[in-house]
Amino acid sequence: MEALELQKALSLEKRMYALLNEAFDISKQLAEAIERGDQVTIRILLSMRREPLESLRRIRRALEEQRDALAPAQARQLAELLNGAAAAGKEEERLAEQVAVNGRLLRQLVELDRILNRKLGGEKSLYHKSLDTSPTG
pTM score > 0.85 for this model?
no
Smallest Cα–Cα separation from 116: which of 103, 126, 106, 104? 126
pLDDT in tens, the chain (137 residues): 789 999 999 999 999 999 999 999 999 999 999 999 999 999 999 999 999 999 999 999 999 999 999 999 999 999 999 999 999 889 999 999 999 999 999 999 999 999 998 888 766 645 445 434 444 44
Smallest Cα–Cα separation from 13: which of 52, 63, 49? 63
